Amino acid sequence: MILETLIGVTFVAALATFLTPDEHAERVAFVLSLLPVVGSLYAWYAFDGTGNALLDGGSLAFATQIDWLTVGGYTLQWFVGLDGISLPLVVLSTVLTSLAILSAWTPIDVRQSQFYGLMLFMEANLIGVFTALDFFVWFVFWEAVLVPMYFLIGVWGGPRRKYAAIKFFVYTNVASLAMFIGFMALVFNLPVDSFGLPAIAGALRAGELGGFLGLTPGTLAAVAFAAMFFGFAVKVPVAPFHTWLPDAHVEAPTPASVMLAGVLLKMGTYALLRFNFTMMPDVAAQFAVPIAILAVVSVIYGAMLALAQQDLKRIVAYSSVSSMGYVILGLVAYTELGVGGATFQMVAHGLISGLMFMAVGVIYNVTHTRMLGDMAGMADRMPVTAGIFVAGAFGYMGLPLMAGFAAEFFIFQGSFTSTVLPAAPLFTATAMFGIVIVAGYLLWAMQRTLFGEFSLETDYEVTRAQFHDTAPLAALLLFTIALGVAPETFFDMITDAVVPMLGGGA
Q: Going from the first residue of the chain to its last (506 residues), give the mean pLDDT of each consecutive group of 10, the final group possibly shorter.
A: 94 96 93 96 90 77 90 88 95 96 86 95 97 96 95 91 92 94 94 92 91 85 96 92 88 93 94 95 94 95 89 90 94 96 96 94 85 81 90 91 94 94 93 90 87 71 79 95 94 93 61
Give buried/exposed letters for 62-77 (b at 16+ CB in 10 A, else e): bbbbeeeeeeeebbbb
All residues at 6 or more sequence positions from 430 whose CB lies less than 8 Å from its CB, including other chains: 296, 299, 300
The Cα angle at residue 228 between residues 223 and 231, in degrees rounded to 5: 130
Q: Cβ–Cβ contacts within 10 Å for residue 111, how many? A: 14
Bridge partners of 134, per DSSP, are: 196
Task: Return the H-helix or E-strand segment holding 468.
Answer: helix 467-485
Residue 214's pLDDT is 75
Nearest alpha carbon to residue 105 among 358, 392, 316: 358
Please tell me the distance from the alpha carbon of residue 377 to that of residue 380, in angstroms, as a whole number: 6
* Residue 301 Rama label (left phi>0; alpha psi -120 to 50; beta): alpha
Residue 325's pLDDT is 94
Provide the 8-state DSSP code for 456: -
- Rg, C-alpha atoms of the chain: 22
Residue 136's pLDDT is 94
Residue 458's pLDDT is 64
Residue 129's pLDDT is 97
Please tell me the distance from the alpha carbon of residue 465 to that of residue 12, in angstroms, as a whole number: 32
Please tell me the distance from the alpha carbon of residue 490 to that of residue 190, in angstroms, as a whole number: 34
SS3 327: helix
C-alpha distance from residue 476 to each of 350, 356, 469 (Å): 10, 10, 12
Q: pLDDT tens digit string along 73-129? A: 888 999 999 999 999 999 999 999 999 999 888 788 889 999 999 999 999 999 999
Task: Return the H-helix or E-strand segment holding 338.
Answer: helix 336-367
Q: pLDDT tens digit string along 275-302? A: 999 999 999 999 999 999 999 999 999 9
Residue 286's pLDDT is 94
Please tell me the distance from the alpha carbon of residue 263 to that of residue 122, in angstroms, as a whole number: 10
Please tell me the distance from the alpha carbon of residue 212 to that of residue 181, in angstroms, as a whole number: 13
HSE-CB for 320 with a 13 A CA cutoff: 37
Residue 109's pLDDT is 83
Residue 57's pLDDT is 55
> In the chain, count of helices (H) and strands (E)?
22, 2
Residue 504's pLDDT is 44
Kindly list the domain boundaries of the chain, sorted by start residue.
Answer: 289-506
